[in-house]
Each structure stands twice: as C-alpha cells, then as structure tokens.
Chain A
Amino acid sequence: MKPAPFTYHCPGTVEEALALLAEHGGEAKPLAGGQSLIPAMNFRLARPTALVDLNRIAELSYVRAERAGLTLGAMTRQRAVERSAAVARAAPLLAEAMPWIAHPQIRNRGTVGGSVAHADPSAELPAVLLALEARLRARSAAGERSIPAGEFFKGMLETALGPDELLVEIALPRPPQRSGTAFLEVARRYGDYAMVGVAVVVTLDQRGRCSAARIALLSVGDGPVLAQAAGEILAGQIPSEQLLRSAADAAATRDIDPPSDIHASAAYRRQLAAVLTRRALVRAFERAGQGAVPSG
C-alpha cells in the first residue's frame, strides 16, 4: 500500500497553484488535507501523475465572520472550524456537524474545502452546505465564479469544478431571525462515514409558522440530497409532532432513492432517514422557537 510515483508541486499562492493546474491540463490533482486522497493513493485506486499541494497557500486558511455571513478559506483545517467561536456563533449547524467528521487526527489535517471538493455522498460538509444555501467561490486562471451549493454537487465524487479550477472559499449566508438548525447522523461507529445523516435549517415566522425548511440528507444518494417534498409539507404550517412525522416520512419515501451497500440496505436507509429527519426537525424547531414542539 504505497502510492505510485507522481511529480510534486508546492505553490505558495493561489495564482501559482492555478498556473500549475492549467499547465498540467487536468492531469494534476490538487492536494488539500489529503485525508481522502492519500488513502486512495496508498491503495493505488488514485494515481495522479502530479500533485499540486495547497497546504502552503496561507491565503486560503481563514474564518471570517461578516455582516452577510461567514466565510471560510478552502484550506481552513476542519479542526480550526470546529474550534472557532465565530463558527459556533454564526453557523451553529456547521459547528454541530464538525465533530461527526472522522476523528480529531483526521480533522487536524483535513480541510473544509478538501472535503467539499471531494464530494463524498457520505460526507457531512456537503449536506451542511446544501442546507445552509452556501455559495462556493471557485477560481481558475481564467477567472472567478460563485456557485450555489445546490449546483455545486453533481454526483458521486463529482462537482461543478473544472479540472483547472480551485475551490477557494465557502460563504455561508447569515440565517434569518427565528431560525433553528440541527445535525444528526447514524454511523456504524463513532467517526465513521454516516449510514444516513441529516442537516436541517428551519425558520419560523412571527406567528410561529414554518416559513422555510431546508433538509439535506447525506449518504442516501450520489451526493447530498435536498428533501424538497418534506420542505413543502412544512412550509406555512405550525410545527407539530404529526406534521414533523409526515415531513420526515416524505423525506424518506419521496425525496430519496437510497443505495444499498454492505453496511445499510436501501430499506434501512429509508428508515434511518425518516427517524433522523423527524428527530432533527424536532430539535431544529425547538431551537428556532426555543420551546418544545407540541404534540398532535
């Protein structure tokens, strides 16, 4: 389990990195935290001929809380996000999800941008970004663009990024007043990829009705899945246990078409999706309204 040979480049700036990617014309792979790429290389499942190591690009590592929301440099270590007071304040959903990502040794090295660009359907961050309506800033030698999370994740390990494009920043808009969030997942073991996970953002209006609900599920498709039918059931309604249950059931039956693998069958994934969505919605609505969801 030793990686195949490659040429190694270690640029100090985004400009240099983009030039290297352009120069290799899609043959070079950006190396972020390496916590998914290097295992794949050790198994020789991935054999990039060139690596462009982003770890010395200091300008890509930051957490900034601004009026419009929170921005994260793509090379910010997951551990730094997990420990950031600004993240805890401005994006509690992200803060809640961080400890679910593998183990501290992985998060010390893994980066937010690396995880997002890798787009593993079982990963936590893509679903969180989808629920939060994040925007992903990408740069290439040709210029820069901002991609909504809903358009960024294209499929199994596939994103909207071009071969010579780098994800440089993640922007999380500030959620409206009276919003509540929750993240839940069930994995085989603590720190494993989830069998199913869910990230929920709900907002209540002045009269206590649900004005918006975004439910993003992970590990139930070839990327993070936004549960639209479930969201529609909730919209405009006063949350109740019964309502949340029907929304959760809709998420599990109408919004997803989960895969089967050795850890979880599709049927079990649907069951987990229903249970976790319901539990996460209860928690999120409680947080939004700061009180228990009424039964009935």
Chain B
Amino acid sequence: MTVHVSVNGTGHQRTVEPRLLLSDFLRHELGLTGTHVGCEHGVCGACTVLLDGEAVRSCLMFAVQADGHEITTVEGLADGSGEALHPLQAAFREAHGLQCGFCTPGVLMTLVPFLRDYPHPDERTIREALSGNLCRCTGYQNIVAAVRLACDAPSPDR
C-alpha cells in the first residue's frame, strides 16, 4: 500500500506492507532513528511521536494508518541545523534530565503537547504526565526538574 505522510514538515511517499508498524516505518523506511523502540506493546513510551500534534505510541499504529497525517518526531523539535536545542531539550541538558538517553525522545514528545496544554503544571501533574514513559536511569527526578525549568523558559512559540 502507498502511504503519504508529512514528517517534521517534509512529505514522504512509500509503498509498504500494511503490517509495518509506524515506529519501524519512521526508523527504517525514513531513517529517522531518533524515535526509539523499547517494548512494542505500548507501555514504555520510547516510541512516542506526535500525530497531528498529539502524543501517540508509534508502535501501536500501522504506518498505513498515518496516511495523510502529520507526524512530528524528536528530529523535528529543534529547528534548522539540528545544533540549536528546543527549550525543552535545553532544559533537559541543564537539569540532567537524561542519562543513557534512550527513553528521552519519547519523553520529550510526550511533554511537548503536555506543556502546550498545561503551561504551568504542578509536580503531581508533571509526574502523571510522565507516567506513560518508562525511564530506567534517572529515577525521573531530574526529568521533573527539567520540565519545571522548561516552564520558566520562554516558549518556542513566543
């Protein structure tokens, strides 16, 4: 089947098997390997991407279902050269919100729409928002700290 998708603002067209998971499509068809795969049953959250602006598990969608939709991956967060960091990415660096970094893309993609919807969350709300992303390294403490830091930073839209 043929799929047309826009990923990080760029249109792509590929012919794929219907069973190809969106996560595999992004990683192996498009080479966007920033989206990681940790469990392929929708629990770990490492493969989280934005589908039309909302966070979804890319391992729980078939690529053909993304036909005509807009996808954003971690590669699309920072604009331009890839050298500059999105404010949330910068906050993660500042607050040591990552260690091995494997879960991080999924965490970031969860948080981007969360912070759009809740610009000034309290700690409990942040933790609930993060609860669909497993991290084995950080104990989440510095991820929470990074979110708080990002809330104080200027939003990318401003």
Taking the closest CB of chain B, its distance from the CB of A201, in whole angstroms, is: 26
Do B45 and A105 touch (CB < 8 A)? yes
Task: Tell me whether B102 is interfacial, beta carbon within 8 Å.
Answer: no
Number of B residues whose C-beta is below 8 Å from A?
28
Stretch binding the partner chain, chosen from A33-41, A123-131, A232-240: A33-41
**Interface members, chain A 206-223 (any B CB < 8 Å):** none
Question: Interface code B24-65, partner A: CB below 8 Å = 1, 0 otherwise?
Answer: 100000000000000011100100100100111101111011
**Interface members, chain B 124-143 (any A CB < 8 Å):** 128-129, 131-132
Do A191 and B65 touch (CB < 8 A)? no
Do A104 and B110 touch (CB < 8 A)? yes
Task: Tell me whether A8 is interfacial, beta carbon within 8 Å.
Answer: yes
Q: Contact partner of A189 among B45, B54, B57, B131, CB < 8 A?
A: B131
Chain A residues with Cβ under 8 A from B41's Cβ? Answer: 1, 39, 42-43
**Interface members, chain A 3-19 (any B CB < 8 Å):** 3-8, 10
Do B21 and A105 touch (CB < 8 A)? no
Do B19 and A105 touch (CB < 8 A)? no
In the complex, A208→B19 CA distance in Å?
A: 57
Task: Tell me whether A268 is interfacial, beta carbon within 8 Å.
Answer: no
In the complex, A8→B54 CA distance in Å?
A: 24
Given known pairs A8-B62, A43-B41, A53-B65, the reply for A104 and B129 (CB within 8 Å) is: yes
Which residue of chain B has the shortest Cβ distance to A5 in the bound complex?
B19
Q: Contact partner of B64 among A3, A8, A109, CB < 8 A?
A: A8
Do B60 and A109 touch (CB < 8 A)? yes
Given known pairs A39-B42, A105-B57, the reply for A5 and B132 (CB within 8 Å) is: no
Taking the closest CB of chain B, its distance from the CB of A234, in whole angstroms, is: 33
Do B42 and A106 touch (CB < 8 A)? yes
Do A109 and B56 touch (CB < 8 A)? yes
Which positions in A face B, CB cutoff 8 Å?
A: 1-8, 10, 34-35, 38-39, 41-43, 51, 53, 55, 79, 102-106, 108-109, 189-191
**A-B CB proximity, top 5 nearest:** A103-B132, A8-B18, A39-B41, A1-B40, A108-B54
